[in-house]
A = this chain, B = another copy of it.
């Protein structure tokens, strides 16, 4: 086996930490948010692959090299502040009452960490749309979501015993991830306008072991399309 994260093509792994004006030296000339805005605009207009890092940097008024100090890769731009969401998920899971059924806790936690204000939804839809359709981003999502899985696996292991790497925790975690991804993808691609409801129902289906009757009922309710604004 080996590998798993070698120096590879010369990488040290630890890159310069993203600029965060410590009121001492030169002040950062921009922010992650500003770069992301420009980048998402270009992605939305020209497509992810057709947008080069050079173009993003130019649009953001920085150099190509500086771009890579704010984001480790072009793909990371689309993910925004995903890491913060992980912390919230973990908090939700560890804060749940011990006597609440495991899958209920999981469902509530995922739903809770995915409540967004009306103002954020448009941008989120662009992000999730990209993540679930552009091959390069679909690929990268597996890496980003790995941490999400770890959080869930830790929680499950805490409930049922045994190591987080065991079959039980891993299966629950990855199946839960798939469930969440499905809900997001369906929402982003306009199956419905209710993200929270979509996630909630998806997890209820999962918790029921994908009961065929329940699935049939849900499928027959053709509530697709976004209500006309």
Contacts and interface: CB of A to CB of B under 8 A. Distances in A.
A162 B219 CA distance: 6
A162 B45 contact: no
Given A102-B212, A170-B182, A175 B44 contact: no
A210 B210 contact: no
Contacts of A138: 142-143, 146
A49 interface: yes
The A contact surface, by secondary structure, is helix
Classify chain A: how many residues form its interface, as a range.
Answer: 35 or more
A171 B205 contact: yes
A135 B126 contact: no
A219 B49 contact: no
Interface stretch (A2-10, A30-38, A61-69): A2-10
Contact of A48 (B3, B192, B216): B3
Interface stretch (A14-22, A89-97, A108-116, A183-191): A183-191
B219 A160 contact: yes
Contacts of A6: 47, 49-50
11 contacts: A1-B126, A1-B130, A2-B47, A6-B50, A102-B212, A169-B219, A170-B185, A171-B183, A171-B202, A171-B205, A175-B206
Nearest to A210: B172
A133 B166 contact: no
